Amino acid sequence: MAKLRVAGFLALALLTAELTVAAEEASLSLLNEVQYSSSLTTAGQPHEAELRAISDAGFQRVIFLAFNDHKNALKNEDRIVRSLGMEYFHIPVIWDAPTIRDFDNFASLMLTSEKTLVHCEVNFRASVFGFLYQIIYRGMPIDEARSRLNNIWIPNSTWEGYITAVLLDKGIDYEPDWPPSSLEKTH
């Protein structure tokens, strides 16, 4: 009888662990969401209820890469995120003039293993930063990262130039996909 209880308990614990992992890896249905890895998701501007879902999904940190005066910005996002027990970082990246320093600031925050949501207004900036981070620091093949990025948008000439500059700065040879082979989606 005791062996049966132990076996039942172990089966229940295993099922609970599998459900927890599945829930943590499930899509949050955020605007233009890209899950680059189990610890890095990028998206467009989340609403307050979505931030609660992000916290409930085990995220420990939110990094915001746009300016907080865009038309869809969430008022007091920093306070909301912190009230949910997550860390909040803001790196305002100028849309038409991103810098290598912007990426380096982002990467320095990402060098821990915390589960992180990176977002901007519509996930153009954030998806590029996620693309670069996965290639440079996590060894994701460029084609795989590019496929995930292009599910959201095809970077315009400014952002394709930025991708090339950051990768070259980090010693990675890169042939830009410019002009794009399909129609360009722009900001």
Cα–Cα distance for residue pair 38/114, rounded to 1 Å: 10
Domains of the chain: 29-169 (3.90.190.10)
Which stretches of the chain drop beneath a pLDDT of 70? 1-26, 177-187
The confidence score (pLDDT) of residue 153 equals: 96
Neighbours of 50 (CB within 10 A): 19
Helix (H, G, I), strand (E, B) or coil at 35: strand
> CA 19, 25, 27, 31: dihedral to nearest 10 degrees?
150
Encode burial over 65-93: b for 16+ CB neighbours within 10 A, e otherwise.
bbeeeeeeebeebeebbeebebebbebeb
> Which two tokens mark 132?
């670069």
Instruction: State pTM to two decimals.
Output: 0.82
pLDDT of residue 176: 80
Q: What is the DSSP letter of 32?
A: T
Classify residue 28 as exposed, middle or buried by CB count within 10 Å of its CB (0-12, 13-18, 19+). Answer: middle
In sequence order, what DSSP letters do the residues of 53-66 get, joined into one string?
HHHHTT--EEEE-S
